[in-house]
Amino acid sequence: MSVENLKSHLRTVPDFPKKGILFWDVTTLFKDADCLKELLDILTDLYKDKGITKVVGMESRGFVLGAALATRIGAGFILARKPGKLPAETIRESYAKEYGTDCIEIHTDALSPDDVVLIHDDLLATGGTAAATERLVRKFGVTDIRLNFIIELEELGGRSVFPAEDKVESIIKV
């Protein structure tokens, strides 16, 4: 299977979650066993020798492959969630959205400065949520951060919101 084949399995949904947005839906990749395996194989090949100690999965589609990837590369898995979803003490980072603000949280005992962290999510568009997650990870003193996305909408320039030292990769670019 190839990246082009993976791309052909994607579904786009017009006007979701609001009018004027073309939503790139990765659930069609997740439901196909061959696509799911191919995605996980690609991610494993990208990160198996990078010294990753923790994978941070962003709510909620980042949980699907993030946890499986962590298992394959021998890393722990950390949940980055919306406020009020994690049961213990959390640290939070706010970010602006086109129609207001939101927050992302991680447990206060999730990371340490010596961790090498991979932040994973399904989609990089403008980068707001991922940048907030990256800033949140930095609050723990982590300096070696990588980010990975299944899909990157290149024309929206999301990569530009991350510090130059972060390593940003995506599997499917549209």
Residue numbers annotated as active site:
61, 98
| Distance of alpha carbon 6 from alpha carbon 173, whole angstroms | 11
| Distance of alpha carbon 53 from alpha carbon 5, whole angstroms | 31
The amino acid occupying position 47 is: Y
Give exposure, 112-142, as e/b (b: 16+ Cβ within 10 Å): eeebbbbbbbbbbbebbbbbbbbbbbbebeb
A 10 A CB-CB count for 19 gives 7
- In which residue are the tokens 């706010």 written? 94
